[in-house]
Structures are given as C-alpha cells and as structure tokens.
Structure 1
C-alpha cells in the first residue's frame, strides 16, 4: 500500500466542531452564521478515505469524525405592538412646520440613490434583524435609523445635490410605539418626524413597507380594520396569496401556502371604500396589503411578526423589498442546490446496523451504484422540474482508478466496474480534484503537495474525465489551518488555528499547479466569509480564494437507512454523545429534519455546496440512496413554495459567482454609488475604485433572467462613470 503521504487515518475531522448550520444566513456586517433551534453539528461527516494504490487496489479507509452539538436558542417571539391609548396624533397637513421649513421643497425629486433606509425602534427591535439579514443576503446597501434615539432630519433623507438618499423606506413596524412608562404607548417619531418622512416619500415617489402592522389609523391609515389577534405557535397558520399577492410574490407558486409560525398576528379586514388591495390572506382575514395614502404615497404591509429565522421571512421579505424598489436595486437573489459527493474511487469506513465498524477494507461504491446514481439524478430532474439543472459534483481520488478498465456501462469482464461505469458516465457528473491519495496536507512539503494535486489531474484525464484545474478540494479540508495539535490524535476534534496557520507549502504548490479556488468548511469559524455568498482571499496567498461548503448530518461512513439511523441517534438521541432529541428518531424523521435545515440554506439564497461521501451513493434498494433521499426531499420542499428554478452551476461557475459576490460587497464598501433618474429612466454608476456590482432590474450585456427578475453583473474600472437603463417593474 502506498501511504507515503498519509499522515494517519482520517481525523475526527473535527470538521464537526463549531458547526454553524442551518440558515447559514450570514449577514454582511460581521456575519456569523446563527443556529436556530435544533441546529447541530454535522456529525463529522466531512472527511474521506485516504491511501491506496493505482489500479483499484485497496485504499486506506478512514475513521468517523467527532461532532459538537449546537445550543438551542429560543425563537424570537416579540411582544405585539398595540395601538396607543392616547396617540400623539401627527398632523395630516402637508405643510412643514417652521422648524422643518428647509424641507418644504425637494430640490431634485427625480433622482434617488439605490439605497434602502431601515427604520426600527431600537437595537432590540426584532424587525431590525429581519430587515438587515434580508438586505445582507440580497447584497443591497442600506442605512439604519433607530427612531428611539436618533432624530429624523431632512439632511438624513436627502443628498447634498438635493437628490434622495433612499429608494425605499423599510419600517420594522408601522407605528414605532414604545411604553411611555405610565401605562400608555407613544411613538418614537413625533408628528413632525412622521410628516417629514411622508413628505420625502411623496416628493421623491419612494415606497414604504411596514414589516409588522396593526389595524387602526395611527399614525396613518393602511385601511386595516380590527378583526381578531393573537399568537401562533409552532403549528403553522397557512396563508395564501391573492391575485395581487401572486404578482407581488411571483417567484412563489400560485397555490403556495405560507406557513406562519411563532408569530403574533393581527387578522384584519379592509375598510370599505379605502384605496387598498389585500395580498396575503388566511381565510377571510387580511394579513398583507398594498395601499395608497390620501396624498398618493404607495405602501405595503404585513400584519404579523417575522424574525429572521422563519420560513415566512424567506418567502415574503424579498418580495416586499422588490416591491418597495420597483425591482431596481443593487444586489440580487437566486436559489441554488449543489451537492458534492467526496472520495469517488476510494474506500471509507463502513458502520454496520449492529454497530460494528469495518475499516479493512471498508466500503467502496460499485459500478452498479454509479449507474444507479446517474439514473436517480435523471429521475430527480424529471420529478422536480425546478431541479432540472441538478448535477452531482464528484471530488475524486485518482489512486483508486484502474486505467485498464474500459469505458463501458457494464460490470462484465471489467477489472474495476466502478472505473468502467465512471468512464462511461463521465459526462453526466462534474469531476473535482480531491488529491490523488487523500492525504492530510497540514504539513506536507511543496513537492508532496504538488505531486498530489497534479497527479490526480493526470490520472483523471487519462480516463477522459473533464477536471477543472482551478478547483481543489483537499482531503478533510486539510492544509487550511484546522488540525489537532497532536498529529497522531485522530479521535478528538481539531482546533481551528485560523487561516494564518495554513500550510504555506501546500498553498504555494496549489498556486503553481494553477489552482484558484479551494474548498473551505462552514463548520470552521476561520472559513466563514464576512459577507453572504462570498469567499475569502487567503491571507497567506491572495491569489487563492476559499469557497466554503455546508456539511450535512448524512454520515460519511453510512450506506443505508439503518446505518444512518444508528449513527444519528448515537450522537443526538437521548443516550447519544451529544443528546438533543428526547427520543430516538426514525430514518424518515431524520431526513425530514435534516432537509429542513438544507431548505433554509436554499431559500436563503446560499450558493454553497452540501457535502456527502461516496458510501452515501450505495444503492441500498432499487433506485434509492441516502444522497438522493436527501436531494429529492430538498427539491420537493422547495417546489412546494417556489416557481423559480434551482440553479446548479458547475464548480467553476459557482466559484466565479462567489468571487463576484466578494467583489460586489467590496465595491459597495469602497463607495460605489448608483443613482436612478426616474425622469430620464437612467442609472448612473460611479465608483472611485475598480470593482463590480450585481444590479437587479438592469439588462446590461450578459444579463441573466431569473424568474421575472433581470440580473446583471456590471464590472467597472477606477473612477468609473457608467450610464445604464433600468427596467422597473410596472406591476405589484
């Protein structure tokens, strides 16, 4: 056995350590993935086998990883905002008071910047995190005004040239009420401030959205009248869309049922003769509305709470932002489903249903398994048209390739059916360099590292696999600063030493081999980017970008439902290593819960791939495997809600997108500015530094249509000044 580069059996890749799962909804400013109740470490399902010989000989199997369970924070369940006992009653006059006379005339009302203003009560306002997480995922610039402590002034709303600073106003709730300390409620805005806000909206034709809206007429009338009110727990109250709502949220299916949970709800009615149209309803109760004020301002509102972790937030807030901006904004949102199946051609440990672990030789998928994976992939595309692009990514270890196996979809007379089927089906999967023998690369030399990278490309291409040179996934994400201080300790979780503790020789070899993108792991804090869907330019080798993956709880060493169930409950059951559930779960319950986690990644717009291993593709029953049990269920759940497609770009496309998102956020931070002249219907993009921006509602060269959205990637040089033509939405 050639184990020259193997530094021991697969460590408890402690990949599992500090996993930050589920929403993975990273916010752009400091963004740490936040676990919602029930989020857990992926159970160390991240590594792969290593060692072996060319020609399909026995490869060295690996050991399971040690996970770390996540805490169970409580869902945000805000206290409902009530109508005040004695409302301050802002003036309904359109004339400015003397103290605000400078705002009497808008100097350049036809021009507004593509920037949003979030107005919340204070830093503890649940709506603040809901709005900002939504905007961070989109990648649109915004400012926050905390009404309880910050005054609203005309200078805050307008630019020095008289143009508007904001293209939308996003309220956390419609009244900004707080206790007055004497049993009543007062608004954080006084009458002058409300009138100032409304004047800005009126003069600059800027739309307003209220995330959480009570019925009544304070501080202004949304045409909502009292019905009933109360809390909704974990059992969903399903809401549907009206004709207008189906236009406003046209990326959702026309028959969608929006599950409203953990919320306080005002079930309202519409006032007769009022200029309002319902958008979201539950039976006869109105839960969403678009309305026009008596002075012509356009407003939209929802009547229930939505914190940033709830499915209803992902389904509806994007549509509210898009409506507020008329579909013209900096940023974009799409949905992705990517799956990597690591260690193809390799062996891994095999956990049996009776609990014993076989490591010699372990498990290696068969040619029949490969053929079944291809058939299951085709069946999934047909069954769920939203997932018609879905294609497995296959990080492979070339040491297990038998170059004498012909390209035949048959096991007959083949010295290695897996190699034969892989060659025969090579164009149906996307191949990724996972190193030749899967060594730990934390301390490999330059020569060892270069040999592992280049040799794997060579043997893969010798059997006609199409393998992109720029993409590298090291075994166990090794060489990137996460390892156990004791190199002989393969049991305990590794330590995240940070990217500056990466193997510089491996990085240098990767660069010299033509690599541009390295896979990282969202389990490790040092691999988590600072902005949503971004990557990390490696601080030791800035030509290399780290693009992280999502781990899963489908363990690397299981091949069938009974094995997965045993593993899962041994970790998270009441008697497990990391007790979480009050009882052991069935396989169907495990898949249901784990795909709920994955669905949250998908609906958030996360582009990162989810990680599986070759044993998870074993055909444990006709047309069935653990990987496709998971993938089919994610696609099924997504299809219940969305009518837009799931995107699955190849890894070159995925990495390029992540690089562009990283540039996008850097450009907004560096002062890139876009102003919309609504009279001329032009956008003027200026920037002091070179960069690029995603723009929605713009059909620039190479734009992409996603649903009814037009998304353009617009690169530019330093001191840029570009003129573009927007395509605003003309319907709700």
Structure 2
C-alpha cells in the first residue's frame, strides 16, 4: 500500500529553540548553463527541494555578498546548501567566492561542486587519467554507503548506449597527500589500467566541499543513481522534498483478443487491405504463469480487464478456461476497469482514409461518441466485476485506446460527452497517453494520469513479431523500414530478426525505465495481454528492469508499486507543492526542524532516522524509506520535529 501522507494535527508552538542560528531549508544554485548543474537543478525540482538559482549569464543577477547569504546579525542563514559549477567559477568575483567560503564555515553549510578538474583546492592530486568512462563501473566507498548514499548497494554503472559516441568524460585522481579527504566514488579507466577518485569530500578549516570529477547530464544512469545521495549529503538529510522509486505496469485488454502484426505485409491484421491472421489471446496457462511470476518476482501487475472478452468466449465456445481460472484466482491479481468491450470513446471515426479522421456534421463540427454508450460501457464492466467478485477501485478507469481524451491532430480536445459520463459514473482518475499528456490534468471533473507505453506493441505475441515491427517503425526505407523516422532524423540500424529483441529492444527499455523509476516519477507503464501470451515477451523485459534496479539499490529502497489513483495523487501533490512552496517557511534551529504552512498544502519532508514529533505520544516521524524518514504534511499551521543529535555530523 502506498502511504506517504502525514495528516497529524499541527503542534502549537511557543518560543522556538534558541540554540544556534536559524538555517532556512533552501539551496542556492549558481548555474553556468552547463549539463552538470542543469542535472542537479532538475533533481532538486523533481524531489521538491526549494532552490534559488543565480544564472552566471545574467548581467542583472544578484551579487553574492554576506548580506545576500545571511541576516546582518547572523541569526538567520538563508541557504542550507550551495551548488556551484566548480570550486571557483570564473564569472564569480573573488569577493563573492570569499563571501561563500566565510558563510559556509560560519553556518556549517556544505558546497557541492558539480564538475571539477582535480586540483589541490578540492583535495585531489593531479589526474592520472582523463578521457571516456563509457561502460565502466565505479564503486561507492564505505563512508558513502553508511552515510548519504545508503540507498545504494555500491556499484555505479556509467552509460554506454552507443559504441560510436563518447557519452561520459571524466578525470581519475588520487586524494591529495596530507589533505582531509573522504573518498565517495572510485572509478577506473575503460582498460582498467588507471583508477582513482571520481567524487570526494574535502574538508578545509571547517568547510566541506563534495566535488565530482566527471561530466554528466540529467538522463544518464550514473547521475540518476547518485542524485538523491548528493541531495542528502548537501542538506545533511534534512530538507523539504521527498523521493520514491516507482514502477507500475498495467496490462490492458485482459480477456480480449488482440490483432496480430503481419510481418509479410507490414500491417496489423484487420486493418484496411491487411491480410487477416489469427488473433492473440492469453490462455489459462499464460495466466498461471503470470501468477507464478508475480510470486517469485515480488512485483504485481494491474490487470485492466474487459468483461466482454470473457462473455464472448463463453458464447462462442461454451466455456472460457482463461477467465474462469482468473476469477477463481482473483485475489492474486490487482484489477482495474478497462470498459466492457473496449469501444472507442472519442469522435466517430472515418477509416476510409489513412490515417483516420473524425466524422463531422454539415456544419463541420466533430461528431462525438454518445454519453450513454460511454456510461453503459463503464458501468457494465463494473457490474461484471461485482458479479465475479473482483475487487476494483470504482474511481479508476482506462478507456480503450485512451479514447475520449484529446489525440492530435484528429482530436484537439476531449470528447465533452466523455467528461460528463465520467462524472456520472463516479470516475475520479482516468488514464492518459504520456506521449500526448505529460502531466496530470483535468478531464472534466476527473483527473487524468499519464501512462508510459512500454516498448512492447499490442499486436505482438512473439519475439520475432516484436523485432519485425520495431524495424518497420524505426528504420529507414533503405534498411527495409517504413521510413517514418527519416523526417525527424531518428532512424536506427535494424535489430537482428532472431536475437534483436533480447539484444537491443530489451536493453533500450531497461535504460529508459531506469530513468523514470529513479526520477521520482510515479507515472505507470502499460502493455497488453498479448505480451503475456505465446512467447510471453513481457517477462524478459521486466526481469531485466528489476534485475538492473536490484543490482543498484539496497533493500532499504524497494520499488513502490502504486495503483493508478495512488500515482495520480502523488503527481497532483508534486504539482501542488511546486505551485505553493513559496508560501511555506521551513528552517532548522539547533536540533529542531520547524515548518509553517497554510492548511492543505502538501509539504514533502525528509529527515534522518531518529527524527521525532515534538511533544507527541507516538513520536516517530513519517515513513521509513532509503535509510531516511519522510512524509507529506497537510495539516498546516506549525509542525515541529526533533532531529537526532547526530544529524549535523551526517
């Protein structure tokens, strides 16, 4: 169950603790416009950590002075951490660098240097290697794993997605002899001949700087793995913001058959002028395998069912072993409404042309699918589930083909009848196609949740079909493909018809999914029942994703597998927090964390293990995740938390 909300009543406060100055929970980011600082900015935003950004390219930016950083009386420090492009950006004046150094020493504020050339100023000796790091595996040190990076197992793999493009560049260097240096990340050259530090903390006269000696951008795996730990180190584990690693997988069309890709004609069976082939439909044996796999993998599918598929099979054959078995084993699966017979809920479509277009009336207005048909499809499928004893969330729905929601260029708006039917049916959360809608948005009075398509086509039951359709879509005419990729310049070399699924398609999906699930992104993925049938091509793909994740992350950081409505709530909270965070006051003073917020604002909070609610009988704060405590606070007013006395030295 997904539970990260904290709804305790606000604790009335009297005088705040007076031990030491107040340090506001906000990060100062000095941005040079390059990839490493951009990646850190993106991660701060993704987790919800408030920041103030100074662009070095802006001639009107504020000058960094002691007064900019703290109140003149020294009782309030405005930033809990500082991010710089490197230890001494050439567009910061010497006086600004001095102000930062003095501020950090005075208030014990840490500095993160996004990408440095190893020098004595950052605790490094001269580099022994400079060049590409593609495909290498670095290792976190024991101090890192017992500290800010405790959510990781230790190995950190560097991307190597292309054999002809250098993707990662860095410097390997030893710690400077005699300097106070804590190794964080150790790497090696591709040949293995050279090794050295890639990240280290240098402490000099009560000032701590964590410097990274490799370049990166926000999508690269090595940064994604390290990103939360960098924030934890920078903020000493106390900040506004919250992270989870999410992965959900919806299986659409349960009980329905799906049309098959015709490899000879390069089309989907049943389309205009496409030869007809047998459909793809799961069998009872496929369902039994799904149950076994869930049990051994520890991962649960969301089964988006269409009751008409089962009823039709019974009417045609007298029985349906698939649906009968799944109903008997209904408590082993998580069910959700995909409408009764998968009707399209958008406009009335004209398939006499390709691509299809919306039918229009004599005035040129779009003809929409009727509200009553939509309502009947939703409620009939719901009634089917009730009759079979399936447990569903009545507020969730994914329509066939995401129909009813806008689909440009044919449908620039949602079907207004779809929105009204959702309201009458009590649907609060409806699935969207993430390639069309990136963010949660209103669909009438309901809210839409974007879903990522996994790179498994609905019309594929075998690996050979998957490889053939992939080549048709993504390769040039010269390589035998459709050439649809040529206009955008995104064509790829064809995959091998026999081994290409496992060698190319699976690793590509693993790389993309690792980006989203390490990005504080709860958007679910979706596939179709056909992918659980025949060659069962979903399993090697998801096994590879889970394997990559579990090789990188410790057991204290399990994947969170939310239902669609739960994912929607997380996305809605993230959006609301970005909009309202400026109205929230949060600071640390001594060992006390104080947060003041308007009621109803979802304030994400992360704090170290051992953080307690001040004055409450049940003192433990939040939910344990990745070696920290975190929660979303909604009660408003003033919340006071007691930090563990060891937090400042973390």
TM-score by length of 1: 0.73
Going from structure 1 to structure 2, the CA distance change for 1:699 and 1:364 (only over 3 Å counts) comes to: farther
Which of 323, 333, 353 is equivalent to 1:429? 333
Residue pair 2:86, 2:116 contacting (<8 A) in 1 also = yes
Structure 2 distance, partners of 1:483, 1:458, is 33
Q: Give the 3-state SS of the residue equivalent to 1:227 in structure 2.
A: coil
Structure 2 distance, partners of 1:266, 1:484, is 48
Give a deviation string over 1:358-417, Cα, whole Å, max 9, x none: 4466222122211121122223x1xxxxxx3x1001111121233997xxxxxxx97101
Residue pair 1:699, 1:712 contacting (<8 A) in 2 also = no
Partner of 1:45: none
Which of 615, 623, 638 is equivalent to 1:704? 623
Going from structure 1 to structure 2, the CA distance change for 1:724 and 1:425 (only over 3 Å counts) comes to: same
Q: Give the 3-state SS of the residue equivalent to 1:315 in structure 2.
A: helix
Give a deviation string over 1:110-157, Cα, whole Å, max 9, x none: 211111111123xx3223311111111111111111235332123432
Offset at residue 257 of structure 1 (A)? 4.5
Which of 490, 501, 505 is equivalent to 1:587? 501
TM-score by length of 2: 0.81
Partner of 2:80: 167
Partner of 2:471: 569
Which of 106, 110, 123 is equivalent to 1:203? 106
Going from structure 1 to structure 2, the CA distance change for 1:372 and 1:558 (only over 3 Å counts) comes to: same
Going from structure 1 to structure 2, the CA distance change for 1:648 and 1:160 (only over 3 Å counts) comes to: farther
Structure 1 distance, partners of 2:517, 2:599, is 32
Which of 256, 274, 290 is equivalent to 1:346? 256
Structure 1 distance, partners of 2:386, 2:480, is 48
Q: Give the 3-state SS of the residue equivalent to 1:320 in structure 2.
A: helix
Q: Give the 3-state SS of the residue equivalent to 1:249 in structure 2.
A: coil
Residue pair 1:288, 1:300 contacting (<8 A) in 2 also = yes
Give a deviation string over 1:449-471, Cα, whole Å, max 9, x none: 22111111001121111111111
Going from structure 1 to structure 2, the CA distance change for 1:688 and 1:702 (only over 3 Å counts) comes to: closer
Structure 2 distance, partners of 1:153, 1:119, is 14
Partner of 1:37: none
Q: Give the 3-state SS of the residue equivalent to 2:404 in structure 1.
A: coil
Partner of 2:21: 110
Which of 512, 516, 519 is equivalent to 2:428? 516
Q: Give the 3-state SS of the residue equivalent to 2:122 in structure 1.
A: coil
1:370 aligns with 2:268: no
Offset at residue 512 of structure 1 (A)? 2.2
Q: Give the 3-state SS of the residue equivalent to 1:347 in structure 2.
A: coil
Partner of 2:400: 475
Give a deviation string over 1:665-710, Cα, whole Å, max 9, x none: 23314x1221111x2x222222346311110116667721112021
Going from structure 1 to structure 2, the CA distance change for 1:599 and 1:297 (only over 3 Å counts) comes to: same
Partner of 2:547: 636
1:556 aligns with 2:458: yes
Going from structure 1 to structure 2, the CA distance change for 1:237 and 1:174 (only over 3 Å counts) comes to: farther
Partner of 2:132: 232
Which of 648, 651, 657 is equivalent to 2:561? 648
Structure 2 distance, partners of 1:647, 1:688, is 29
Gaps of 5+ in 2: 1-17, 161-165, 189-194, 271-275, 347-367, 486-490, 614-619
Structure 2 distance, partners of 1:287, 1:264, is 11
Going from structure 1 to structure 2, the CA distance change for 1:305 and 1:484 (only over 3 Å counts) comes to: closer
Which of 648, 654, 672 is equivalent to 2:584? 672
Residue pair 2:88, 2:97 contacting (<8 A) in 1 also = no
Aligned residues: CA RMSD: 2.5
Partner of 2:199: 288
Structure 2 distance, partners of 1:607, 1:414, is 41
Going from structure 1 to structure 2, the CA distance change for 1:699 and 1:439 (only over 3 Å counts) comes to: farther
Partner of 2:8: none
Q: How many residues align?
A: 562
Give a deviation string over 1:591-632, Cα, whole Å, max 9, x none: 122222222222223211111001111042xxxx11112111
Which of 200, 223, 242 is equivalent to 1:332? 242
Which of 124, 127, 130 is equivalent to 2:36? 127
Offset at residue 329 of structure 1 (A)? 0.8
1:262 aligns with 2:167: yes
Q: Give the 3-state SS of the residue equivalent to 1:270 in structure 2.
A: coil
Partner of 2:95: 192
Residue pair 1:113, 1:676 contacting (<8 A) in 2 also = yes
Partner of 1:23: none
Partner of 2:305: 396
Counterparts of 1:475-624 in structure 2, within 5 Å, are 475-482=400-407, 485=410, 497=412, 501-524=413-436, 527-529=437-439, 535-538=440-443, 541=444, 543-573=445-475, 574-577=479-482, 578-579=484-485, 580-585=491-496, 586-588=500-502, 589-620=504-535
Residue pair 1:339, 1:609 contacting (<8 A) in 2 also = yes
Structure 1 distance, partners of 2:71, 2:381, is 57
Structure 2 distance, partners of 1:592, 1:110, is 50
Which of 126, 139, 157 is equivalent to 2:69? 157
Gaps of 5+ in 1: 1-106, 177-186, 382-387, 406-412, 486-494, 530-534
Residue pair 1:699, 1:710 contacting (<8 A) in 2 also = no
Offset at residue 554 of structure 1 (A)? 0.7
Residue pair 1:112, 1:167 contacting (<8 A) in 2 also = yes
Partner of 2:11: none
Most deviating of 244-253 and 426-435: 244-253
Offset at residue 258 of structure 1 (A)? 5.0
Partner of 1:661: 574
Residue pair 2:599, 2:634 contacting (<8 A) in 1 also = no
Residue pair 1:667, 1:689 contacting (<8 A) in 2 also = no
Partner of 1:93: none
Structure 1 distance, partners of 2:459, 2:22, is 59
Going from structure 1 to structure 2, the CA distance change for 1:448 and 1:141 (only over 3 Å counts) comes to: same
Most deviating of 559-568 and 586-595: 586-595
Q: Give the 3-state SS of the residue equivalent to 1:667 in structure 2.
A: helix
Going from structure 1 to structure 2, the CA distance change for 1:512 and 1:583 (only over 3 Å counts) comes to: closer
Going from structure 1 to structure 2, the CA distance change for 1:419 and 1:731 (only over 3 Å counts) comes to: farther
Partner of 2:191: none
Offset at residue 731 of structure 1 (A)? 6.0
Offset at residue 716 of structure 1 (A)? 2.5
Offset at residue 637 of structure 1 (A)? 1.2
Going from structure 1 to structure 2, the CA distance change for 1:156 and 1:116 (only over 3 Å counts) comes to: same
Which of 341, 355, 372 is equivalent to 1:447? 372
Q: Give the 3-state SS of the residue equivalent to 1:402 in structure 2.
A: helix
